[in-house]
């Protein structure tokens, strides 16, 4: 059985569960956090509950501060057939931006996937206007591959994006 709990210096990264719905709603309902994310802006907590319930056993995690037990964000590490690689995703409550948490969690999820899933190839992308996300991807060791698009799930917006790859032997 694959271990799905990850610890870093400041975080516990664990599988998301329905009890996390309020925390998810806090960032999923923030239009500034949502600006470049593919999911729709959440209007109520039930949307967060429905999303969490739909996940099944995907590698979707929440980031929990060790110091307080507070959920501050979430991430994913799922195989994307389209890219023949594990795609990295992450999201944080705005209050915790700029503190290195996204990079810390992302590096840990990459190492977890390498050790537990046998992953060697990783993919990440960001809207070109999202400079903070670019910084996280670069700090994780990804190399620019090409330009592409990032589209909201409902097709309401399409962003010019940069795409990156990481290979670990």
**Tell me: the pLDDT tens digits for 92-150?**
999 999 999 999 999 999 999 999 999 999 999 999 999 999 999 999 999 999 999 99
Q: Is pLDDT of 40 > 90?
A: no
On the question of pLDDT at 1 being above 50, the answer is no
Contact call for residues 161 and 125 (beta carbons, < 8 A): yes
Task: Answer whether 13's CB lies under 8 Å from 105's CB.
Answer: yes
Give pLDDT, residue 2.
Answer: 59
The mean predicted confidence, pLDDT, of the chain is: 94
pLDDT level of residue 27 (50, 70, 90 thresholds): very high
> Band of the pLDDT at 3, cuts 50, 70, 90?
low
* pTM for this prediction: 0.94
b/e code 66-99 from CB counts within 10 Å (16+ = b): eeeeebbbbbbbebeeebebbebbbbbbeebeee
Cβ-based neighbour number of residue 129 at 10 Å: 12
Which residues does residue 80 pair with via DSSP β-bridges, in sequence order? 85
What is the spatial distance between Cα 8 and Cα 66, in angstroms, rounded to a whole number?
9
- The whole-angstrom separation of Cα 50 and Cα 69 is 23
For domain 6-167, which CATH number applies: 3.40.630.30, 3.30.70.3270, 2.40.50.100, 3.10.180.10?
Answer: 3.40.630.30
List pLDDT tens digits, range 59-93.
999 999 999 999 999 999 999 999 999 999 999 99
The share of the chain scoring above pLDDT 90, in percent, equals: 88
């Amino acid at each position: 059985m694959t271990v799905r709990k990850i610890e870093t210096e400041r975080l516990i990264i664990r599988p998301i569960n329905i009890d996390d719905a309020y925390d998810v709603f806090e960032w999923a309902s923030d239009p500034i956090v949502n600006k470049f994310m593919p999911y729709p802006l959440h209007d109520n907590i039930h949307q967060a509950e429905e999303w969490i319930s739909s996940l099944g056993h995907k590698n979707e995690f929440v980031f929990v501060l060790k110091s307080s037990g507070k959920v501050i964000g979430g991430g994913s590490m799922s195989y994307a057939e389209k890219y023949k690689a594990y795609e990295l995703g992450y999201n944080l409550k705005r209050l915790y931006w700029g503190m290195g948490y996204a990079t810390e969690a992302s590096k840990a999820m990459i190492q977890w996937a390498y050790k537990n899933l046998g992953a060697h190839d990783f993919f990440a992308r960001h809207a070109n206007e999202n400079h903070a996300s670019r910084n996280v991807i670069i700090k994780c060791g990804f190399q620019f591959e090409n330009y592409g698009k990032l589209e909201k799930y409902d097709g309401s917006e399409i962003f010019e994006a940069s795409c990156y790859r990481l290979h670990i032997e």
